[in-house]
Structure 1
């Protein structure tokens, strides 16, 4: 393995960790914390500020994750082509990644619409109903990316295990030397 391969793999894993961790933090921490605001406008502003600050980091992580994934695939093209378990795992990773990107974009879109509806909800009954509807959808969507990106981490672990020799560093030797 070259130093370049190590850098690319490290980038791929750390960007996935940022994507996973940011999504999970939003679902577990930021979104529930925003509910502590005094009124709908303040709650929307808190959530919006948190996601506005995190958005560029998350976007860069996703972009670098995709680019490093392409580089890893190019580096491992023979292994993917000739080793069926690897090919299946790569196809699964590609599908999960595509789903995470698409559903992340949908979550962003729904979150933005929810913030707008929530701001108008104080004085507009229609906006209040729309905010309730979007809130339910957002509650479900906010868990999709941590699940999908967590699945990517599991598949990366699986692919890493495939590259080990017959005995890993911490495995007991199967026979005694000499």
Structure 2
């Protein structure tokens, strides 16, 4: 079987890049530009329209990333079993992915609530003013925190992915396999030592 998985890696990396870049650009660009509109009642509808247009693209990017990630998980499963550290890194990556998905989904839910709010007067997309209805202001404050959580989590995913790429270097693979072998060999020895110590105490 070929050791190349270019399609899977491309889906994984391009999807993650769009997920990270889109969330960061939206927080800075879409929300920032909407806050510059002079009519305070148009700021939220304009930002909501921008995010609504991005949502299908973002969903496709996330889907591509997940498909690539699952494919890589399957193809890299032998290394997870034989190379120390790969399984731990994979678990961290999975946790970050689940967290990013949850935050992205809830952020979109908040965005849909703001879309349905119409055109209330606001300071910005995620900043209410004195005239903003309380239920709208609540969703805005939640969204303000989450809009930075998404790029933080997806950025961390990029870092973990880079780290896992380094683990595939021949020297890292050799040391990881050696470390796993030593750990497996050391376990029976430790148990025999403990058994010997227990026997000595009984006598």
Structure 2 length as normaliser, TM-score? 0.74
The alignment yields a C-alpha RMSD, in angstroms, of 2.3
Looking at structure 2, the residues matched to 91 and 121 of structure 1 have their Cα atoms a distance apart, in angstroms, of 44
Q: Does 1:56 align with 2:61?
A: no
Q: Does 1:36 align with 2:36?
A: yes
Looking at structure 1, the residues matched to 118 and 22 of structure 2 have their Cα atoms a distance apart, in angstroms, of 23
Unpaired stretches in structure 1, ≥5 consecutive residues:
168-178
Looking at structure 2, the residues matched to 154 and 134 of structure 1 have their Cα atoms a distance apart, in angstroms, of 30
**Based on CA coordinates, which of the two structures has the bigger radius of gyration?**
2
C-alpha distance after superposition, 1:134-178 (max 9, x if no partner): 2111110101110000011001100011111339xxxxxxxxxxx
Q: 1:126 to 1:81 in 2, by over 3 A?
A: farther
Q: Does 1:119 align with 2:119?
A: yes
Write the mapping of 1:54-133 to structure 2, written as runs, cut at 5 A: 54-117=54-117, 119-120=119-120, 128-133=133-138
Q: Are 1:117 and 1:130, in contact at CA under 8 Å, matched by a contact in 2?
A: no
Which moves more between the two structures, 88-97 or 107-116?
Answer: 107-116
Shift of 1:52: 1.6
Shift of 1:15: 0.7
Looking at structure 2, the residues matched to 126 and 29 of structure 1 have their Cα atoms a distance apart, in angstroms, of 24
C-alpha distance after superposition, 1:40-98 (max 9, x if no partner): 44112211221122111100000111111111011011111222311011111111101
Map of 1:152 onto structure 2: 157
Shift of 1:119: 2.4
Unpaired stretches in structure 2, ≥5 consecutive residues:
123-129, 173-203
User: SS of the counterpart of 1:143?
Assistant: helix
Write the mapping of 1:166-177 to structure 2, written as runs, cut at 5 A: 166=171
Q: Are 1:27 and 1:142, in contact at CA under 8 Å, matched by a contact in 2?
A: yes
Map of 1:175 onto structure 2: none
User: SS of the counterpart of 1:147?
Assistant: helix
Looking at structure 2, the residues matched to 66 and 34 of structure 1 have their Cα atoms a distance apart, in angstroms, of 31
Q: How many residues align?
A: 165
